[in-house]
Chains A and B, each alone.
Chain A
Amino acid sequence: MTFRTNFILDCVSSIGWTLMNVGFYLIIFQFTPTIGEGTGWDQDRFFLFLATTWFINSLVQAFFMPNAEEFSELIRTGGLDFALLKPIDTQFLISFRKVSWSSLSNFAAGLVIAAVALYRLAHHETDPLVPSALSVVLYVLFCGCGVVIMYSLMICLSATSVWLGRNQTLYNFWFYITNFSRYPMEIYNRGWGTTLYGLFTFVIPVLVVVNVPARILAQPVNPETSDQWWLVGWALVATLVSVAGSRWVFRRALGSYRSASS
């Protein structure tokens, strides 16, 4: 809180960005009842989806983004030596050094969007939707899984600085990949999009990050739609695989690290 004006400015600009996105989707929903035919993503459900994106991204940006950025920089400058000397797990030390509190303003924005969407869903004239306690618990759990998957991806990307020297396109790449996670996965599943759908579900599992929790809350995964359960199961597997994968990449990176100082 040292640079108060800067903090407030960061908050204002992220909230401005949120408002622009909300405006954009409000405009889209002026023309269409749902995103994709028969997908069930109507306005209120989609805003719940959007809120989920906001929750997960804000957590990643607040807790991991500044640290991944610093990790790249430590590799480049040779500062990583000091982290390696410390008697605790290096990945743990690297991952939790800083917190960018202003990014949490997006979390607050997400809460507002979710609250409005849930209120409207609960007051629908035909089949109002009130999530059960179980689905809320699962929602929080799978949002956590989503954060972990994103974190793993970010660690892998920033670890590549060891081999590339400097990784300036890291954030562009991060932005472009996570861009795919911002929409319901059904929309990719057609034509040549099926390749992307498969790639981003199974190889780089960014599509399950938001889709699984949002689906649990907005379109309850229940025994009648059991075909959705594989996705939930896969989200769990993907989380575990991502953590293991990021750890492996991190260790490989440390193995190839040659200090840059003297």
Chain B
Amino acid sequence: MIFSTALAERLVYRGDFALGTLMRFLPIITQIFLWFAVFDAIGSADGNDATEIGGFGFRDIVAYYLLTMIARAFSSMPGLASGIARQIRDGEIKRYLIQPIDLISFLLLNRVAHKIAYYAVAIAPFAFVFYLCRGYFVDGWPEPHVLAAFVGSLIMGFLIGFFMEAAIGMIGFWFLEVTSLLFVFMLFSFFLSGHMFPLTLLPDGVGQVVRFLPFKYLAYFPAAVFLNKIPDDQLPLEMAVEAAWLTFFILVCRFAYSRGLERYSGYGG
């Protein structure tokens, strides 16, 4: 019921939405030109002797940006943390205390429905853009096991995104205003998730720290898996680490919720 309502809610403005999704790819055009100019300046951007930086050639980088769009579509949770914080502030969260629904499961189910609705509509523009850009995927489709890992990393990326943001929203139990914190978090997550550039381009010291953080699963990691940038022998370990981070955030989120409820004093109506 929750699921189908949320699904219907999202399908109302599908035309406008499909156009919006298509427009979202426009900045990639400038990225293509920027990176071509960079690769052009250091060697050849195309052909057999194409230059690579951080393990990425020019075509890889473009493919990378396209794939991070998919990863971000899974892992981004617009309004989740601020929504939770608002519900705490307004006292609206009371209804989860008196009704037999669990807040976290409710929100999660809601997001799953929203994401499915999103993909039901977004798949057409996405497919169109990827078809146009198929030339940038040098190796074509990855091996079945890599593809499976890619799908797995996307699903875990979605869950990490969800529990990470929900946990931040829970901070609202302690501080009534979390907007500032969210700002900082968004900035960090944008930069450290690999949304701006592949994380392997970072200088060694910083790169190691950043690749240890959980942010990379929101954008960099799924794209790197798809592009075969994670060696086969490391793939299971990397997936295990991702699962560990996911478990960590589920626990943090649950813990924060139960402790928060103890503190909660029900402001508002």
A residues engaging B (CB < 8 A)?
Answer: 5, 9, 12-13, 16-17, 20, 23-24, 27-28, 30-37, 39, 169, 172-173, 176, 179-180, 182-184, 186-188, 190, 193, 196
The 8 Å CB contact of B187, one of A13, A35, A37, A184, is: A13
Residue from the list A12, A33, A179 in contact with B41, Cβ < 8 A = A33
B interface with A by C-beta (< 8 Å): 19-20, 23-24, 26-27, 29-30, 33-34, 36-42, 53-54, 179-180, 183-184, 187, 190-191, 196-197, 201-203
If A9-B183, A20-B191 touch, whether A187 touches B34 (CB-CB below 8 Å) is yes
Contacts of B40 on A, CB cut-off 8 Å?
A: 36-37
Q: Could you list 9 further interchain pairs (A-B, Cβ under 8 angstroms) beyond the known A9-B179, A39-B37?
A: A9-B183, A20-B187, A20-B191, A31-B201, A35-B41, A169-B19, A169-B20, A180-B29, A187-B36
On whether the beta carbons of A173 and B196 are closer than 8 Å, the reply is no
Asked if A172 and B201 make an inter-chain contact with CB atoms under 8 angstroms apart, the answer reads no
CA gap between A193 and B196 in the complex, in Å:
22
Q: How far, in angstroms, from A31 to B56 measured CA to CA in the complex?
A: 12
- Evaluate contact between A35 and B23: CB separation under 8 angstroms: no
Which chain A residues border B180 with CB–CB below 8 Å? 5, 9, 12
The answer to whether B41 and A34 have CB atoms under 8 Å apart is yes
Q: Identify A188's interface contact among B24, B33, B53, B184, CB under 8 A.
A: B33
Known interface pairs A13-B187, A179-B26, A179-B27. Does A31 touch B38 (Cβ–Cβ under 8 Å)? yes
On whether A193 and B33 interact (CB within 8 A), knowing A32-B38, A169-B20, the answer reads yes
Known A31-B53, A182-B30; judge A172-B41 contact (CB<8 A): no
Question: Which partner residue on chain B sits nearest A189 by CB separation?
Answer: B33
Instruction: Contact check, B38 vs A179: say whether CB atoms are below 8 A apart.
Output: no
Interface of A is mostly: helix
| Selected contact of A176 from candidates B27, B41, B53, CB within 8 Å | B27
Q: Chain B contacts of A180 at CB under 8 A?
A: 29-30
| A-B interface, 9 closest residue pairs, ranked by CB to CB distance from nearest | A36-B37, A187-B37, A176-B26, A16-B187, A31-B53, A37-B41, A187-B33, A32-B41, A13-B183
A-B contact pairs, 5 of them (CB 8 A): A12-B184, A31-B38, A36-B41, A39-B37, A172-B23
A16, A37, A173: which contacts B184 (Cβ < 8 A)? A16
Whether A179 lies near B30 (C-beta < 8 A) is yes
Tell me the bound Cα distance from A184 to B29 in angstroms.
14
**Which residue of B is nearest A23, CB measured?**
B191
Q: Given the complex, which residues of A lie within 8 Å of B54, measured CB to CB?
A: 31
Tell me, in angstroms, the Cα distance from A36 to B40 when the chains sit together: 6
B37 touches A35 (CB 8 A): yes
Nearest residue, chain A, Cβ from B188: A16
B203 touches A30 (CB 8 A): yes
Chain B contacts for A173, CB-based, 8 A: 23
Complex Cα gap A196–B36 (Å): 15
Q: Which residues of A contact B187 (CB under 8 A)?
A: 13, 16-17, 20
Task: Report chain A residues within 8 Å CB of B29.
Answer: 180, 196
Q: Which residues of B contact A35 (CB under 8 A)?
A: 34, 37-38, 41
In the bound complex, how far is the Cα of B196 from the Cα of A182, in angstroms? Answer: 15
Q: Bound complex: CA of A110 vs CA of B41, how far in Å?
A: 26
Which B residues are CB-close (under 8 A) to A172?
20, 23-24
Bound: A30/B100 CA distance, A:
56
Chain B residues with CB under 8 Å of A30's CB are 201, 203
Q: Please indicate the chain A residues that have their CB under 8 angstroms from the CB of B34 in the complex.
A: 35, 183, 187
On chain A, the residues within 8 Å of B183 by CB distance are 9, 12-13, 16
- In the complex, the answer to whether A28 meets B38 with C-beta atoms within 8 Å is yes
User: Could you say which residues of chain B place their CB within 8 Å of the CB of A13?
Assistant: 183, 187
A113 to B24, CA, bound (A): 29
Q: Distance (Å) between the CB of A17 and the closest chain B CB?
A: 7
With the chains together, A3 CA to B34 CA distance in Å?
39
Question: Closest residue to B54 on the A side, CB-wise?
Answer: A31
Across the interface, which residues of A come within 8 angstroms of B38, CB to CB? Answer: 28, 31-32, 35-36
Measured in the bound complex, the distance between the Cα atoms of B203 and A30 in whole Å is 9
Contact A24 B37 (CB under 8 A): no
A160 vs B217: C-alpha distance in the bound complex, in angstroms?
40
Report how far A161 CA is from B68 CA in the complex, Å: 33
